[in-house]
A = this chain, B = another copy of it.
């Protein structure tokens, strides 16, 4: 499956939750599969912190040929014959407002100043993203989505769809998510933001004008993030206390890793493999991710809290929903623990909604929602085949 992103421009102003107005914006998106005749088989995929519209398939190069190893971030889940089967469903991946992967965001020009928006880009919320996505769905001629689906922050968007546009979502697939962030989640986001904002190269968020990039802060933010994505167990299994191997420079044929047993006794050298892994992840991230986008997206996470307008009652907040739900959580996910998904299940059941819930005993922590756990993929496949597909008009169940 080779895909090319498309861009949709919206010239009608979008009023955000904050009251700010975005005069116009563009959304970048990809689609996989074919929209059926009655436009009833569309599935919208919402992305999490550092992902994009490139959900599945391989990217095309200038000649339309597949770029190797350019698979979308949920390619193990979505594609022909996969759990979300693009032979049957028309799947849409969309990049969110404020992101740095093509949709209008802080690296784009502010039409009022002809300078990059930078820190002046308005704060966007989960609700704002859903409003913007709904216009894309309008423009694609789709009245009702067969499903909205997402993991983590994408699960929050999915939940918000069922509250903002209840009659436009038949099914909501909410994976490794939560009804809001808890204090510890907010705390980790805040430390990451402070690392970015206090980096001298941040220049009050106008680093593009200044010709700098707050790479130090981005590295720290990503290292913190990575620790919270993995479970304690999987970190111990993958890295434990193993020392970073030496590389034998004398071997000219191929770098040869030599197991190292002695400490270097240094506070700055890389001693342990886990340190090497984290620094690598931080370096890589700081090369491609926009710092203002990081601030915006973590803030959207912090702000999401549908129960807030209902005195904290999640049950009341979900009274507007009419979709059917599949929720999935992972036992070792300490960022969005199963207990948070169970809160959602309880509040949905209190509203007498149809809810399926799978709690997967997986070792990988929050990252599990992106990985190939067979029970997890089977649970999603089964839900799509036996529940969502049976709703499709003009198709045998």
Contact = CB atoms under 8 A, between A and B. Distances in A.
A198 B219 contact: yes
B183 A239 contact: yes
A227 B191 contact: yes
A333 interface: no
Given A195-B220, A241-B305, A187 B227 contact: yes
A265 B183 contact: no
Contact of A193 (B17, B183, B224, B267): B267
A176 interface: no
A336 to B, nearest CB: 12
A49 interface: no
A185 to B, nearest CB: 9
Nearest to A182: B236
Count of chain copies: 2
Which DSSP category, helix, strand, loop or mixed, fits chain A's interface? helix
A196 to B, nearest CB: 9
A25 interface: no
Contacts of A278: 187, 190-191
A151 B66 CA distance: 57
Nearest to A223: B191
Interface stretch (A73-81, A154-162, A296-304): A296-304
Interface stretch (A137-145, A252-260, A269-277, A318-326): A269-277
Contacts of A190: 223, 272, 274-275, 278-279
A123 interface: yes
A188 B227 contact: yes
A35 to B, nearest CB: 36
A181 B267 contact: no
Contacts of A122: 265
B220 A184 contact: no
Among A17, A20, A272: residue with most chain B CB under 10 A? A272
A197 interface: yes
Interface string A180-210: 1111101110110111011110000000000
A114 interface: no
A63 interface: no
Nearest to A312: B241
Is the interface on chain A under 10, 10 to 19, 20 to 34, or 35 or more residues? 35 or more
Interface in A1-36: 17-20
Interface in A262-301: 263, 265-268, 271-272, 274-275, 278-279, 282, 292, 295-296, 298-299
A224 B190 CA distance: 10
Contacts of A241: 180-183, 186, 305, 308
A379 interface: no
B198 A235 contact: no
A232 interface: yes
Contacts of A271: 302-303
Contacts of A235: 182-184, 187
A82 interface: no
A333 to B, nearest CB: 13
B200 A200 contact: yes
Contacts of A199: 216
Given A123-B267, A191-B220, A220-B220, 6 more contacts: A193-B267, A195-B195, A195-B220, A198-B220, A267-B298, A267-B299
11 contacts: A125-B265, A183-B272, A184-B227, A186-B274, A187-B227, A190-B274, A191-B227, A195-B220, A265-B303, A271-B302, A271-B303
The 5 closest A-B CB pairs, nearest first, are: A18-B265, A267-B295, A183-B235, A123-B265, A198-B216
